[in-house]
């Protein structure tokens, strides 16, 4: 007599993943589902974001969950945790390094040369003291972005050329025909895809946490202080 293995029933999480993938659209990448300790909600990781669902996938909640006693943003804390990287694994040789003051505080940032928010954040960085900035030129907005990145990459002083453009609007000099920056640009683009960098600016702190978008000086200082 041949023994048959029992068919294991699907877990709630497995069923929910199938349901949400179907109902939210084929392009939706539901990565992980975890039951939360509050009100029967399930945390659903979709790309770099978190949404919440009931057990049947009939309703989803898109927004922040706050702990009222402490005002802690539970959603942001979870995003920081699940989107962390190992900063030391970044190929910093593919970036532009800028040091201000003693340079003890460190960030890496992905920027597109035609990104208005990146230019705003770059001006914030210009007024930030004692910081080392590793800039990954990430041309995802247009063909012109790639052209500008090539011109900066082929400059004698890349950091100056980048700041001249991003802060002062000074167009970088056209790259010599003999200069080929394609390989370095493709390396950064592949890195961005691997890290799921979908918009610019995206800022990574030394503790591996990330912040998408241009943050103001106060928020930057707060994040630098907490990123140990």
How does pLDDT run across 43-77, given as a tens digit for each residue? 999 988 899 999 999 999 999 999 999 999 999 88
* Domain termination residue (choose one: 42, 61, 82): 82
- Residue 175: left if φ>0, alpha if ψ -120 to 50, beta else—which one? beta
Q: Output the CA torsion 86→92→97→100 (10° steps).
A: 30
Provide the whole-model pTM.
Answer: 0.83
Q: Residue 221: inside a domain, yes or no?
A: yes
How does pLDDT run across 196-208, given as a tens digit for each residue? 999 999 999 999 9
Residue 20: CB atoms within 10 Å: 20
The pLDDT of residue 1 is above 90: no
Using CA atoms, how far apart are residues 189 and 110, in angstroms rounded to an integer?
10
The pLDDT of residue 6 is above 70: no
Give residue 48's domain range: 12-82
Using CA atoms, how far apart are residues 188 and 73, in angstroms rounded to an integer?
32
Instruction: Say yes or no: 128 and 218 in one domain.
Output: yes
């Amino acid at each position: 007599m041949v023994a048959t293995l029992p068919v294991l029933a699907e877990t709630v999480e497995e069923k929910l993943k199938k349901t949400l993938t179907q109902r939210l659209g084929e392009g939706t990448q539901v990565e992980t589902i975890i039951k939360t300790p509050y009100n029967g909600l399930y945390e659903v990781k979709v790309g770099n974001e978190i949404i919440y669902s009931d057990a049947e996938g009939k309703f989803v909640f898109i927004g922040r969950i706050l702990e009222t006693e402490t005002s802690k943003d539970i959603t942001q804390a979870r995003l920081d945790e699940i989107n962390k990287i190992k900063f030391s694994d970044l190929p910093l040789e593919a970036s532009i390094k800028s040091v201000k003051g003693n340079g003890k505080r460190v960030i890496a940032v992905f920027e597109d040369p035609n990104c208005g928010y990146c230019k705003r954040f770059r001006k914030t960085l210009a007024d930030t003291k004692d910081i080392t900035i590793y800039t990954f030129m990430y041309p995802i907005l247009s063909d012109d972005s790639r052209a500008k990145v090539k011109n900066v990459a082929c400059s004698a002083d890349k950091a100056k050329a980048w700041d001249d453009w991003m802060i002062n609007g000074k167009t970088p000099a056209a790259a010599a025909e003999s200069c080929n920056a394609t390989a370095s640009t493709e390396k950064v683009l592949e890195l961005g895809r691997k890290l799921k960098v979908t918009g610019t600016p995206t800022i990574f702190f030394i503790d591996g946490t990330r912040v998408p978008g241009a943050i103001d000086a106060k928020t930057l200082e707060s994040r630098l202080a907490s990123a140990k």
